[in-house]
Structure 1
Amino acid sequence: MTEVLIVGAGTVGLSAAVFLAHHGVRVHVVERADGPQQHPRATGVGVRTVELLREVGLAEAVNAVAVDMSAGTLGKIGAETLAAADLPHRPAGPHHARRTADTPYTPAVLRGTCPQNRLDAVLLPAARERGAIVEYGVALEDFEQDATGVRARLCDGRLLRADYLVAADGVRSPIRAALGIGTTGAGNLGTAKNNTLFRADLSGLLGPHSFIACDLTHPRVRGTLMTIDGAHEWVLHTEQSLEVTPELIRTALGAPGLPVEIVSTLPWRIRALLADRYSRGRVFLVGDAAHAIPPLGAFGMNTGIADAHNLAWKLALVLRGTATPALLATYHQERHPVGRLAVEQATLRLADPELHWGRGPAASAARAAAGVLNAPIVQLGYRYASAAVIDPDPTLPSTEDVEHVLDGSAGSRLPHRWIAGGLSTLDLVRSRFTLLTGPDGAHWRPAAARLDLPVHTVELARIPAGGALLVRPDGFVAWRAAATPQDLGAVLARLLDPPVDPAYDRADDRAAAAGSAA
């Protein structure tokens, strides 16, 4: 029997398959579309996502398919047309260098943007190589669940039985609707838009430069031009009321006579929504099914991938019998506040995009006045305050400096430091509970050995003198222990069988939920 059925093979569904299979879970993915999505949507792969890809051995493969911006990029620019930006005559020095291994708070390396279709082209074979079954052209017709599992009926008449179901079925999520889970938030924002993928050689308009996005203000074509491959593939976002033709694209570019090939068009709309809850019974929402996040900041896809990662290790431990099902309640406890934060932060940025793109003291002051967090804090500086953390400290010590926020507090992502062999402290976790001590922490080893708990000695100022950090499989600090040795076994047992929040464990969640996901 399949242990986890995933509905939806977009980026988040494929990520969930990779993470679950990485933990040894038997996974079956079904997707109603006939094949992988070839039209790029999101292009910004965040630093936390790269860390998660590093954990499962895919960071180098994704870096290889990313657009090479290692020499630097202008980031976001604006002009009436691309030609009016006069890039060939700009000074050669780029405004923004891409992240490298020298970034002090992360081991993540990504040489540039990575369109979603390129990321999916890495995730799909990786999921299958790890044992996941991924089927296209197969829709979920309906499902029902009881105390022992989920039974799903597929469009081809097959019945699949699984222990759990993961809904990665998009912003309109039929599964979420079937479960009776509502949403809150502003909903649709602005007017409907078209995302038009086209091919054209823009080298004559770029000179030595690259950019991520260019806001175009031509009276006939107001929109945003996005880099896809940095050479011949581009996306133009325009109002849906505007018919996009090769001639209109030439007008936006300021390049009469330039050969332009329109490949495909996707309609879309900015939405700001958050599911009221992320699970019901044995069914869990991830990605757009759980939250619709405005695009500015590139928080949407990355938040969804982190949802999948958080859920995967918990499902794996429960299926293995190492943890009780109570651990699964912490998925909502942890990821729902993160989803709310991402929706709020992306929405605030819509009013003034410079709150996101701005650099320097003036930009920091403007963000503080508007209640906007610096992007790296939204991506990986959030903290968990759930029953799967001992004595969490949810207070952020900074809204700008993510390295200061990642201080080893319980509930925060483990601080990154380079250690011997080109490894990061994050690499020591290796997808399982791990104890980190300082050089004065040898007294922790006997108890850890009895629990078959890996122990590593590291020079990390965030570890209390004589103390230790107990790190969860997802790289978050579960417990920050003082010098006095405590019952490590009791602490680990509490984390694997956490108390359930009575406000969440309502009667309707204990009952079997049934529905139709046509």
Structure 2
Amino acid sequence: MNENVDHRVPVLIVGGSLVGLSASLFLGRLGIEHLLVEKHAATSTHPRGRGNNVRTMEVFRTAGVEQRIREAASVLADNHGILQAGSLTGDDQEWLFKEIDPGGGLARFTPSGWCLCSQNDLEPVLLAQAREQGSDLRFSTELLSFDSDGSAVDAVLKNRETGEHTTVRADYLIAADGPRSPIREQLRIGQSGPGDLFHNVSITFRSKKLADVLGDRRFIVCYLTNPEADGALLPVDNEQDWVFHAPWKPEQGETLEDFTDERCADHIRRATGAQDIDVEITGKAPWHAAERVADRYGSGRVFLAGDSAHEMSPTGAFGSNTGIQDAHNLAWKLAAVLRGEAGPGLLDSYEAERQPVARATSERASARSAEHSHPGYAPPPGAGGGKQGGLLPVALGYRYVRGAVVGADPEQPVVPRGLQLTGDPGSRAPHLWVRQSGERKSTLDLYERSFVLLCDGADVAWRRAAERVADRMSLRLDAFGIGSGSDLEPENGADWAEAHGTTAEGAVLVRPDGFVAWRSAGSVPDPEATLYDVLATLLSRD
């Protein structure tokens, strides 16, 4: 390998969009030095990728950035539901759903909630937060080449403004470099799945009169189904800035140059049924919907995350959320290995856990495109099969049936039919409101920087075992007793053991990413030996 190294860093992140910035945020929170490079000069300026699901907002909550994101998203805070209409002026209108959380039932499962924040608003928040943590993020910097010999990754970077070349040696590389990932291609990692689904041109435009046409209708997206001018309308500020996704058929010889301002404005007027509205075209960006998942999630010290690892239909906004959660899964594992708390075998669990989730989620995204008759999407004969269930089992209920978990049932589906958050190993740990030193918090707020052992407040054996195991293994392991007068006091007399699928004599071990790693239904003869063996298995410790 090249001995003329200009910079040494534990982790190099290539790609500074949502997934790369999230990886930087999560690694920074864990105290892991890293360098992020992005070839573009700044964050995204196009309003896209707006749907942030409840699990994504949970991980942003734990990372201390949820409130800033909600402030950036405040202009769309009152937009809910998906409308399907022949036009905005006729009677052919149907709400596919009007409220994303009707009745407020979601509060039983999470301290967070959905958030409509466009990529151009979200990325600057993540960038600012990462830089405040002291992270090194360099825009206008591209990866020219990389090489790995198994002990490190050498990368050659180019500053696109000055032309200067820099050589960086990293312990690990995260490839968040998009769906046509050059890093994935160099690694010769193939992809599986149906492939291209449809193509759209995303048109940004201004129209003051369109708000008058809409009246009090505040939707996330409206699918307009006029066969002569279909498309999807998305509000940016509900007043004068909008986005319209128009079908594009390059396979029929249609080019981007065919989408003139005049054609786009006419298409929008016909699609909305509002022929008299003002339409000023302000931008156009092509995008391609596809369903593909990488055959491998990395090679050696290089890992794929986000669109480089998977592509999926935009319906349901699953793609960016899955990518952000990739970064969250990988960050704590890299941190554990770099700190010497885990063996490198822990990193094998990244693919074992995240690849099945991507496959199940991408299939669900395509099915949802069929359900919603997404403009431009023609599902293959026999696809879809009717409604596949709600969003929550996909967004929040997915499970790791293999990987860094002990006691998970490998026969269970990765995405269940219903939402089942009852403390099963491999599932996201249950949410309970508790008081800790008088402060109200969710149990989910405990999970970020270490493994956490939960046990009954009256049971000292498990907590003593955790202290001894942490000392023996030289790792941080937080143990909390739950109950009246204990470390954590549940609100309203909630039974923590019942919520976690165990008994008062049992214990639950939760990973830094908030997923249940293991649980014991009751007491064991030797808690210290049991806990040591479980953690040694989870962390690939010999």
TM tier relative to shorter chain: 0.7 to 0.9
Residue of structure 1 equivalent to 2:197: 189
Residue of structure 2 equivalent to 1:453: 477
Residue of structure 1 equivalent to 2:357: 338
The DSSP-based 3-state class of the residue aligned with 2:50 is: coil
* Counterpart residue type for residue 130 of structure 2: A
Q: How do residues 150-165 of structure 1 correspond to structure 2 at under 5 angstroms?
A: 150-155=153-158, 156-165=164-173
1:271 and 1:293 in contact (8 A); partners too: yes
**Equivalent residue in structure 2 for 1:103, among 83, 107, 116:** 107
* Pair 370,246 (structure 1): closer, same or farther in 2 beyond 3 Å: closer
- Counterparts of 2:299 and 2:267 in 1: how far apart (Å)? 48
Deviation of 1:368 (Å): 11
Matched, 1:124 2:141: no
Q: How do residues 70-109 of structure 1 correspond to structure 2 at under 5 angstroms?
A: 73=80, 75-84=81-90, 95-96=98-99, 103-109=107-113
- Counterparts of 2:168 and 2:444 in 1: how far apart (Å)? 37
Q: How do residues 134-283 of structure 1 correspond to structure 2 at under 5 angstroms?
A: 134-155=137-158, 156-190=164-198, 192-201=199-208, 202-240=210-248, 241=254, 243=259, 244-283=263-302
Deviation of 1:471 (Å): 0.3
The DSSP-based 3-state class of the residue aligned with 1:311 is: helix
Residue of structure 1 equivalent to 2:487: none
- Counterparts of 2:415 and 2:128 in 1: how far apart (Å)? 40
The DSSP-based 3-state class of the residue aligned with 2:116 is: coil
Deviation of 1:125 (Å): 0.8
Deviation of 1:344 (Å): 1.3
1:470 and 1:480 in contact (8 A); partners too: yes
Deviation of 1:116 (Å): 1.2
- Counterparts of 1:53 and 1:158 in 2: how far apart (Å)? 32
Residue of structure 2 equivalent to 1:388: 404
Residue of structure 2 equivalent to 1:506: none
Deviation of 1:98 (Å): 5.0
TM-score scaled by length of structure 2:
0.83
* Counterpart residue type for residue 215 of structure 2: G
- Cα deviation, 1:361-394, whole Å, max 9, x if unaligned, reads xxxxxx9965834311111211112341111124
- Cα deviation, 1:236-265, whole Å, max 9, x if unaligned, reads 111224624334323333334433222211
Residue of structure 2 equivalent to 1:16: 23
Moved more, 408-417 or 444-453: 444-453
TM-score scaled by length of structure 1:
0.87
- Counterparts of 1:263 and 1:24 in 2: how far apart (Å)? 42
Matched, 1:298 2:309: no
- Counterparts of 1:126 and 1:484 in 2: how far apart (Å)? 43
Deviation of 1:199 (Å): 2.0
The DSSP-based 3-state class of the residue aligned with 1:412 is: coil
Residue of structure 2 equivalent to 1:358: none
* Pair 251,140 (structure 1): closer, same or farther in 2 beyond 3 Å: same
**Equivalent residue in structure 2 for 1:326, among 334, 345, 362:** 345
1:67 and 1:229 in contact (8 A); partners too: no
- Counterparts of 1:399 and 1:470 in 2: how far apart (Å)? 22
Deviation of 1:102 (Å): 5.7
1:72 and 1:97 in contact (8 A); partners too: no
* Pair 72,235 (structure 1): closer, same or farther in 2 beyond 3 Å: closer
1:441 and 1:467 in contact (8 A); partners too: no
Across the aligned residues of Structure 1 and Structure 2, the Cα RMSD in angstroms comes to 2.6
**Equivalent residue in structure 1 for 2:502, among 464, 480, 487:** 464
Residue of structure 1 equivalent to 2:515: 476
- Counterparts of 2:273 and 2:387 in 1: how far apart (Å)? 38
Moved more, 51-60 or 25-34: 25-34
2:223 and 2:231 in contact (8 A); partners too: yes
**Equivalent residue in structure 1 for 2:533, among 481, 490, 496:** 490
- Cα deviation, 1:77-112, whole Å, max 9, x if unaligned, reads 12232233699xx99xx93155869621111134x4
Structure number with the bigger relative contact order (C-alpha 8 A, sep ≥ 6) is: 1
Residue of structure 2 equivalent to 1:133: 136
Count, aligned residues: 479
Residue of structure 1 equivalent to 2:492: none
- Counterparts of 1:270 and 1:354 in 2: how far apart (Å)? 14
1:145 and 1:151 in contact (8 A); partners too: yes
1:63 and 1:109 in contact (8 A); partners too: no
- Cα deviation, 1:423-457, whole Å, max 9, x if unaligned, reads 11111223310001134533211111222521222
Q: Which ranges of structure 2 fall in alignment gaps of 5 or more residues? A: 1-7, 159-163, 249-253, 375-382, 471-475, 483-494
Moved more, 454-463 or 336-345: 454-463
- Counterparts of 1:215 and 1:371 in 2: how far apart (Å)? 17
Residue of structure 2 equivalent to 1:61: 68
* Counterpart residue type for residue 489 of structure 1: Y
Deviation of 1:42 (Å): 1.1
Moved more, 7-16 or 489-498: 489-498
The share of aligned pairs that are identical, in percent, is: 41
- Cα deviation, 1:387-438, whole Å, max 9, x if unaligned, reads 4111112425994431xx1110111110111122331111122331000113
The DSSP-based 3-state class of the residue aligned with 2:46 is: coil
- Counterparts of 1:428 and 1:312 in 2: how far apart (Å)? 17
- Cα deviation, 1:155-181, whole Å, max 9, x if unaligned, reads 332111111110001101000000010
- Counterparts of 1:333 and 1:498 in 2: how far apart (Å)? 18
* Counterpart residue type for residue 237 of structure 2: D
- Counterparts of 2:25 and 2:388 in 1: how far apart (Å)? 33
2:408 and 2:424 in contact (8 A); partners too: yes
* Pair 373,27 (structure 1): closer, same or farther in 2 beyond 3 Å: farther
- Cα deviation, 1:18-56, whole Å, max 9, x if unaligned, reads 111111111111111121111122111010000000011
